[in-house]
Amino acid sequence: MIRLSALQMQTAGADTTANLARIEAAAHEAARAGATLLVTPELGITSYGGGEKILALAEPADGALVTRLAEIARETGVALVAGFAEKAGDAVYNSAVYTDGSGKPSVYRKSHLYGDYERNLFTPEKPSTCLFSHRGMTLGMLICYDVEFPENVRRLAKAGAEMILVPTATPKGASGTFIAEKMIPVRAFENQVFIAYINNIGRDGDFDYAGRSVIVAPDGTALATAGLAEEFLTAGIEPGLYARSRSENTYLKDL
Hey, which residues are catalytic here? 42, 110, 144
Distance CA 246, CA 159 (A): 16
Q: Determine the Cα–Cα distance for residues 157 and 100; give it in Å rounded to an integer.
A: 22
Q: What is the Cα Rg of the chain in Å?
A: 17
- Contact (CB, 8 A) for 19 and 47: yes
d(CA 131, CA 138): 7
The pairing of beta strand 203-204 with beta strand 207-208: antiparallel
End-to-end Cα spacing for the chain: 28
214 SS3 class: strand
Report whether 197 contacts 160 (CB < 8 A).
no
Cα–Cα distance for residue pair 173/186, rounded to 1 Å: 20
Distance CA 70, CA 110 (A): 21
User: 111 Cβ partners below 8 Å, 6+ apart?
Assistant: 124, 125, 126, 127, 128, 146, 152
